Amino acid sequence: MRKPEEDRFRAFAGGQAAALRRCAYLFCGDWHLAEDLTQTTLVKIYRAWPKVQKQDSIQNYARRVLLNTWLDEKRRPWRRSELRMAAPPDFEDVGADPSAAEARSWAKDMTHRALLELPQRQRAALVLRYFDDLSVAETAAVLGCSEGTVKSQTARGLDTLRVVVDNLTAGRPARRAVS
């Protein structure tokens, strides 16, 4: 890659890495995995950079690559073998979470916990629509589906999210949604 192209990629990666990492965290719910997903996404974009910079929206392309990277990671056999429990067997290491340094509100924590209970496509639609503030058309472009599918996945996701939040606030075990 030539120096001007590499400089443009470095500027892109420097400006978008934090947003991609936040989006990856909202997809997967794990800061360490979000770091890995972001790094893998940036490597994939770097490899295709001469073609990528001709795209209309490089940010949407990056989100699409991130989403596909996360979905590929979810399909890996060693990820499927883990059993999910209602309560973790070990204590959470709050110091390992970068956001623990800030005062986390109850609503933010509840939202993250509830998002993890949603099926993958519903979670992706909600994260892209409401956390990344994309339009229906932009979300459809990132997910590679029709606008109607985005609307239905968003509506179903919000309904499921309400049920999960109600269960979490009532102290009942959260219903694990099928992905």
Q: Which domain holds residue 175?
A: 104-179
**Whether residue 75 sits in one domain with residue 26:** yes
**Whether residue 28 sits in one domain with residue 49:** yes
Whether the per-residue pLDDT at 18 is higher than 90: the answer is yes
Q: How far is CA 39 from the centre of its chain?
A: 14
**Whether residue 59 sits in one domain with residue 147:** no
**Whether residue 76 sits in one domain with residue 124:** no
**Whether residue 97 sits in one domain with residue 21:** yes
CATH number for position 22: 1.10.1740
Is 87 part of any domain?
A: no
Average pLDDT, the chain: 82
Domains in the chain, number: 2
Is 159 part of any domain?
A: yes
pLDDT tens readout for residues 63-109: 999 999 998 888 876 655 555 666 655 666 555 555 554 445 666 77
| SS3 (DSSP) at 74 | helix
* pLDDT at residue 4, rounded to an integer: 84
pLDDT tens readout for residues 133-161: 899 999 999 999 999 999 999 999 999 99
pLDDT tens readout for residues 38-51: 999 999 999 988 88
74, 102, 130 - which closes a domain:
102
**Whether residue 52 sits in one domain with residue 118:** no
Is 88 part of any domain?
A: no
- pLDDT above 70: percentage of residues in the chain: 77
**Cβ-based neighbour number of residue 86 at 10 Å:** 8
Whether the per-residue pLDDT at 173 is higher than 90: the answer is no
Closest CA to 125 of 141, 106, 108: 141
**Whether residue 74 sits in one domain with residue 30:** yes
Lowest average pLDDT, out of 60-64, 100-104, 172-176, goes to 100-104
Proportion of the chain in helix, strand, coil states, percent, rounded to 5 = 70, 0, 30
51, 74, 102 - which closes a domain:
102
Whether the per-residue pLDDT at 35 is higher than 90: the answer is yes
**Cβ-based neighbour number of residue 147 at 10 Å:** 14
Is 54 part of any domain?
A: yes
Question: What does the alpha-carbon distance between residue 17 and residue 4 come to, in Å, rounded to a whole number?
Answer: 20
Is 121 part of any domain?
A: yes
102, 131, 163 - which closes a domain:
102
**Whether residue 117 sits in one domain with residue 66:** no
Closest CA to 24 of 34, 10, 12: 34
Name the H helices within 29-146: 31-47, 49-52, 58-75, 77-80, 106-115, 120-126, 136-143
**Whether residue 57 sits in one domain with residue 8:** yes
| SS3 (DSSP) at 93 | coil
What predicted TM-score, i.e. pTM, was given to this entire model? 0.57
Question: What does the alpha-carbon distance between residue 46 and residue 10 come to, in Å, rounded to a whole number?
Answer: 9
| 91, 156 contact by CB (below 8 A) | no
**Whether residue 177 sits in one domain with residue 118:** yes
**Whether residue 114 sits in one domain with residue 58:** no
Question: What does the alpha-carbon distance between residue 39 and residue 21 come to, in Å, rounded to a whole number?
Answer: 9
**Whether residue 43 sits in one domain with residue 122:** no
